[in-house]
Amino acid sequence: MTDKDTRERIVEAADQLFYQQGYEQTSFSDIADAVQISRGNFYYHFKTKDDILQAVIDTRLATLQQILTRWDEEIPQPAERILQYIDVLITNQANIKHYGCPVGTLCSELAKLRHASQVEANALFAMTRNWLSEQFTLLGHKAKANNLAMHLIGRGQGIATLANVFYDEQFLKQEVQELRDWLQSLTVTKKTKPKKRPG
């Protein structure tokens, strides 16, 4: 077992547990047990609990960046890309019902804790917002792009929160359908308008 392997396994386990139990509620012992190392060994890799949180956030940021880049490369149409984002709610519905949105619940918890890493965690939202904003711009909604991005993320947060609290899959599916309709209404309205106006 090399150093890197163990460190990676710690971050992976911490990521899972922070999502499932919350950051505050997850102890070193929980993580050590999950990775099957001693608590002492733990401190060789991370000095403090905050360090692990930072590593988890960094990993999530990198993963998110990869996903968004892949969507950019593999999906040509911006509307289809946004649809892909919306459908994550369906793909992850089992986890969302159990634990809520991994980004939203972490950011909310850190906000309440007034935690120093709140800014870094918020970057997860910011990265998504910026990416969505680009897609809406490509859709021809440049002026409102950022507002539309925030609106969509907010809708997703509300859906995840209630799907979690009420453990309601039916609600989640129906709301996702409404989001699809909403996106559709934004996609078709620009049919006859020219992309750029002279002057």
Partner DNA sequence: GTCTATACTGAGATAGAC
Partner DNA sequence: GTCTATCTCAGTATAGAC
Distances (CA, A) of 24 to 19, 53, 110, 122, 187: 11, 10, 9, 17, 42
Report the alpha-carbon distance of residue 22 to residue 9 in Å, rounded.
Answer: 18
Is 104 in contact with 17 (CB distance < 8 Å)? no
Instruction: Compute CA distances 81 → 35, 65, 138, whole Å.
Output: 36, 14, 11
Does the protein bind a second copy through residue 158 (CB under 8 A)? yes
- CB-nearer residue toward a second copy: 81 or 115: 115
Among 22, 28, 34, 122, binds DNA (CB under 7 A): 28
Shortest distance, position 181 Cβ to a second copy, whole Å: 12
Query: At which residue do the structure tokens 């940021």 appear?
Result: 61
The number of residues that bind DNA (CB under 7 A) is 22
User: For a second copy, which residue of 25, 29, 41, 48 counts as binding (CB under 8 A)?
Assistant: 25
Instruction: Report the SS3 class of residue 70.
Output: helix
Residues of the shown chain interacting with DNA in the complex, contacts defined by CB under 7 A: 1-6, 26-29, 37-41, 43-45, 47-50
Residues of the shown chain interacting with a second copy in the complex, contacts defined by CB under 8 A: 20-22, 24-25, 99-100, 104-105, 107-109, 111-113, 122, 125, 147, 150-151, 153-159, 161-162, 164-166, 168, 171, 174-175, 178
